[in-house]
Structure formats: C-alpha cells, structure tokens
Amino acid sequence: MSSLQLQQYSSLQKLYGSWNEKINVISRKDIDHLYERHVLHSLAIAKFISFSDGTTVLDAGTGGGFPGIPLAIFFPKVKFHLVDSIGKKIKVVEAITQELELTNVSLEKIRAEELRSKYDFITGRAVAPLKTICDWTKHLIFSESKNQISNGWILLKGGDLKNEIQELNKPVFKIPISDFFEEDFFKGKFIVNFK
C-alpha cells in the first residue's frame, strides 16, 4: 500500500468526525469506532476479491460512503460510482472524496433502480433484503466478466439470512467476515456474493 493510501485512510476519522457534527451520516455511537465498524467492515470485500484494474463498481445506497470510499482508496485503478437517494449524504460523501482527492469515484443522488449504466459489480451494506436489491439493480450488470469471479453482487449483511437467501432463489456464497477479522463486531456479519 502506498503512502498516499495510508494518508487517505488516516484522514478518514478527522473528516468523518467533522462532517458528522454538521450532518449525521454515521450514528453517534459508531463514530468512535469508525475504522472497525465502517472502514474495516468495508475492506472485508477486498479480502474476498482483488478487483482487476478497470473494473466498474456501483455502491448502491452508499449512505456515508461505505463500502465505496474505503474500497476506492484500496483499489485506485477501479472505478466506483456511489449513489444514494438522500442528497445530504451525497453532499458529505462528495466533500470527503474531494478532500481525499479520489479521482476514481463518481457520485449521484439517485435511486439505484433509476440508473441505466452498467457495472461489473454492485456493492452495498445492509441496504435492503437480497431479493429487493437484486430486483432494483439486475439490469445494471455487464454480462462479460473480467475478474476471477463472475460479475454480480457483493453485499455486506448481518444476522440470520436464511429467509432472504431462500427468497432470492439463487446460488449464494456466504462468507463470514470473522474468517478475515477477529474483532467481536464481525461475528454474525457476512459477505454475500451471487450473480
């Protein structure tokens, strides 16, 4: 990892701390655990896949920019499009990406289901039930794959997903994040991948 990337990661606490005082994008109890509960949680995806250069990723319902911003720092040659329907959240994410000088991030205040562009992968974090997010975004995925896994969804989810997976009715890879990180916070949290 380059010194620029390390510097970008180390700036996150101050940036989010100051923005969170103006516009609440991260719960007050979570802001003190930003690196564990937001940054590291987002980077679990980087433990699951190393995106090829030039890959395009849609972060649907990005909220405060997770998992999009930590992944964009980690993969500077991958293009990330962060969308959320709530304007104030996009405003904060825009300010943070500008402050970090992230040139591989674009932003849009829009509902994911209204998008028309295509992407290799769709990420999200507890945005909606699996079937719902799939229905909203299935028209957005390129059929040609250029990574070691097929294009599709890589979502961060927690809790009992049995019913959601059943309702989705697709083959699903469910990887416990506790396989990668030992902090208690990650118990019962998963990467859910399907195509």
DSSP for 112-181 reads GGG----BSEEEEES-S-HHHHHHHHGGGB-SS--SSS-SEEEEEEES--HHHHHHHTS--EEEEGGGT-
Element (H, E) at 92: helix 87-100
151: CATH: 3.40.50.150
Q: Is the peptide bond before 70 cis (omega within 30 degrees of 0)?
A: no
Q: What is the pLDDT of residues 173-192, one digit of tens each?
A: 999 999 999 999 999 999 99
Task: Out of 22-31, 37-46, 47-56, 186-195, pick the least confident.
Answer: 22-31
What is the model's pLDDT at position 48?
Answer: 97
| Residue 63 amino acid letter | G
What is the model's pLDDT at position 30?
Answer: 85
What is the model's pLDDT at position 170?
Answer: 95
Q: What is the pLDDT of residues 123-177, one digit of tens each?
A: 999 889 999 999 999 999 999 999 999 999 999 999 999 999 999 999 999 999 9
**Residue 51: DSSP 8-state:** P
What is the model's pLDDT at position 156?
Answer: 98
Residue 139 gets the label, from left (phi > 0), alpha (psi -120 to 50) or beta, of alpha
First to last CA, the chain: 30
Q: What is the pLDDT of residues 61-115, one digit of tens each?
A: 999 999 999 999 999 999 999 999 999 999 999 999 999 999 999 999 999 999 9
Please check whether residue 83 is in contact with residue 7, taking contact to mean a CB–CB distance below 8 angstroms. no
Count of domains in the chain? 1
What is the model's pLDDT at position 161?
Answer: 96
Q: What is the pTM of this model?
A: 0.96
Angle at 90 between CA 125 and CA 158, to 5 degrees: 10
Task: Give the torsion sign (CA, 167, 84, 98, 100).
Answer: negative
C-beta atoms surrounding 154 within 10 Å = 23
Q: What domain range is 56 assigned to?
A: 3-194
- Does residue 28 surpass a pLDDT of 90? no
